[in-house]
Chain A
Amino acid sequence: GQQVMQIPQYQHVQEGEDFTTYCNSSTTLSNIQWYKQRPGGHPVFLIQLVKSGEVKKQKRLTFQFGEAKKNSSLHITATQTTDVGTYFCAGGAGTASKLTFGTGTRLQVTL
Chain B
Amino acid sequence: GAVVSQHPSRVICKSGTSVKIECRSLDFQATTMFWYRQFPKQSLMLMATSNEGSKATYEQGVEKDKFLINHASLTLSTLTVTSAHPEDSSFYICSAEVSDRGKGEQFFGPGTRLTVL
A48 interface residue (CB < 8 Å to B): yes
Cβ-closest chain A residue relative to B103: A97
Q: With a CB–CB cut-off of 8 A, which chain B residues contact A1?
A: 60
Q: With a CB–CB cut-off of 8 A, which chain A residues contact B110?
A: 41-42
Stretch at the interface among A51-59, A63-71, A98-106: A98-106
Known: A43-B44, A88-B43, A106-B41. A99 touches B93 (CB 8 A): no
1/0 contact string of B86-117 vs chain A (CB within 8 Å): 00000001010100001111111111000000
Q: With a CB–CB cut-off of 8 A, which chain A residues contact B41?
A: 106
Interface size on B, residues (CB 8 A): 24
B34 interface residue (CB < 8 Å to A): yes
Q: With a CB–CB cut-off of 8 A, which chain B residues contact A101?
A: 36, 43-46
Complex CA distance for A45 and B22, rounded to whole angstroms: 21
B49 interface residue (CB < 8 Å to A): yes
Cβ-closest chain A residue relative to B45: A101
B75 interface residue (CB < 8 Å to A): no
Most chain-B Cβ atoms within 10 A of its Cβ — which of A31, A41, A43, A102? A43
Complex CA distance for A81 and B104, rounded to whole angstroms: 29
Distance (Å) between the CB of A7 and the closest chain B CB?
Answer: 13
Q: With a CB–CB cut-off of 8 A, which chain A residues contact B44?
A: 43, 88, 101
- CB within 8 A of A97: which of B32, B42, B107? B32
A78 interface residue (CB < 8 Å to B): no
Asked whether A33 lies within 8 Å of B109 as measured between CB atoms, the reply is no
Asked whether B103 lies within 8 Å of A92 as measured between CB atoms, the reply is yes
Asked whether B103 lies within 8 Å of A42 as measured between CB atoms, the reply is no
Asked whether B108 lies within 8 Å of A42 as measured between CB atoms, the reply is yes
Distance (Å) between the CB of A45 and the closest chain B CB?
Answer: 4
Asked whether B103 lies within 8 Å of A31 as measured between CB atoms, the reply is yes
Query: 3 smallest A-B Cβ distances: which pairs?
Result: A45-B105, A42-B108, A101-B44
Residues of chain B whose beta carbon lies under 8 Å from any beta carbon of chain A: 32, 34, 36, 41-46, 49, 60, 93, 95, 97, 102-111
Of the A-B pairs whose beta carbons lie under 8 Å apart in the complex, a sample of 9, sorted by A's number, is A1-B60, A33-B105, A42-B93, A42-B110, A43-B44, A43-B108, A101-B45, A101-B46, A103-B43
